[in-house]
Homo-oligomer: A and B are copies of this chain.
Amino acid sequence: MPMTLEAVRELDRWDPLATFKARFALPDGEIYLDGNSLGAQPLASREAVVSTLDQWRDELIKGWNQGWFDAPERLGNLMAPLIGAGQGEVIVTDNITLNLFKLLGYITESQGRQRPVILSEGGNFPTDGYIAQGLCRFAGYEHRVLPEGAALVDYLDDRVAAVVLSQVHYRTGRLRDMAATTQLVHEHGAEIVWDLAHSAGALPVDLHDCGVRYAVGCTYKYLNGGPGAPAFLYVHRDHQAGGWQPLSGWHGHAAPFAFDGDYAPASGITRFRSGTHSALIYAPLEASLRLWQEVDMAALREKSLKMTELFRDCLADLLEAHGIGDITPPPAERGSQVALIVREHGYAIVQALIARGVIGDYREPGLMRFGFTPLYLSYEDVWQAARHFREVVERREYLAPRFQERAEVT
């Protein structure tokens, strides 16, 4: 290990984000490097859920007038500063899959359906492509795929209505140039919907600064909103009056309690709401987003990059000696994860690490992912995780039969 434990502890002593760790409920004896799949639990989130249970019990239907009904907009406004959006430009609702359907439908209608192609990204997290396929099949559009690694410009023409891309890739952790890509797409007369699943809460995001008009993202990864917490949807204020989104439910109506026979979209971001939402799931996320208001995003980015570098440095010689590839992009193009590729035993290595209390995840084919969440990980956690990784590989612990058996992993 290139750095001593003492030197690493010195980093922790000077870490400006160190106090956040005490505000999370973390399982004993674990080093959790899977916050890019499901974030840890803020202490305040637990209290918020219990308080919402009290509200359900005591207020019953009146609860809807006491913060439940407008939770999508209220939490959207808490999300806004974390992604460089303005007030009234974000709602928290449904999930990424459904929000993509709404935005793609909205964009094509706003364009008068002059362009029949939706372009999504090969090798991206599959639900983005699946919902684009479903939408195209249903609306009679053409689904085009940008192969992984191909140049976007070669796939843009005047038939492309909209492009869906992830700012940070779920496998490699590669960070795209959002400003340049957005400009390129707009120059071709198309729109782009950014998926911020692996960037919101992982690094500073500035949608306005990058000229972004449409984005979605999830809150259960880096933002610690709870398992399957609702997603967010962003539409730039100048692009909110384009038409209908196709999932036109009563909560997106201009006057939901007038019980009109005809749908009329609400003004502003509210038109992107659909049907009735669960009040309960907003409680833990709201508590987490309030904690996030205190976070200095520049400090977060600095710590994130120092942690990923520390992990890589601790393992560089080992990876080379054992033929394990490190496909983590260089710092300027990196999200907040380390991505390692093995020809075999990748699943078993991750299982052997889990048995030691180091939680990463495995994604076919051959990918070991380790997410680094600056709010609740210390530098010492990272160093210890690297030590465990070294021991698992050097001692070939992964060859134990119990680690080779496959179970479904999300």
Are A64 and B410 within 8 A (Cβ)?
yes
Q: A258: which of B140, B364, B410 is its contact (CB, 8 Å)?
A: B364
- A259 interface hit (Cβ, 8 Å): yes
Tier of interface size on chain A? 35 or more
Residues of A44-61 at the interface with B, using a CB-CB cut-off of 8 Å, are 46, 49-50, 53, 56-61
* Measured CA separation A134–B274 after assembly (Å): 11
Q: A249: which of B57, B127, B139, B257 is its contact (CB, 8 Å)?
A: B127
Residues of A235-284 at the interface with B, using a CB-CB cut-off of 8 Å, are 244-250, 253, 257-263, 274-281, 284
Are A95 and B276 within 8 A (Cβ)?
yes
Residues of A361-410 at the interface with B, using a CB-CB cut-off of 8 Å, are 361, 363-364, 407-410
Residues of A97-141 at the interface with B, using a CB-CB cut-off of 8 Å, are 97-98, 101, 105, 109, 122-123, 125-127, 129-131, 133-135, 137-140
Are A276 and B96 within 8 A (Cβ)?
yes
CB distance from A47 to the nearest CB of B (A): 10
* Measured CA separation A213–B25 after assembly (Å): 46
CB distance from A214 to the nearest CB of B (A): 17
Q: A227: which of B32, B63, B226, B284 is its contact (CB, 8 Å)?
A: B63
With contacts A109-B138, A226-B280 known, is A364 near B95, CB below 8 A?
Answer: no
Are A244 and B134 within 8 A (Cβ)?
yes
Are A278 and B130 within 8 A (Cβ)?
no
- A65 interface hit (Cβ, 8 Å): yes
* Measured CA separation A101–B275 after assembly (Å): 11
Q: A38: which of B53, B61, B277 is its contact (CB, 8 Å)?
A: B61
Are B98 and A275 within 8 A (Cβ)?
yes
CB distance from A117 to the nearest CB of B (A): 17
Are A139 and B139 within 8 A (Cβ)?
yes
15 residue pairs A–B, Cβ–Cβ below 8 Å: A30-B60, A41-B57, A49-B53, A61-B410, A64-B227, A65-B407, A96-B276, A109-B138, A126-B250, A130-B248, A134-B263, A137-B246, A138-B246, A226-B278, A281-B281
Apart from the given pairs A131-B248, A134-B263, A138-B138, 7 other A-B contacts in the complex at a CB distance below 8 Å = A27-B57, A61-B410, A68-B227, A95-B249, A98-B275, A227-B278, A258-B364
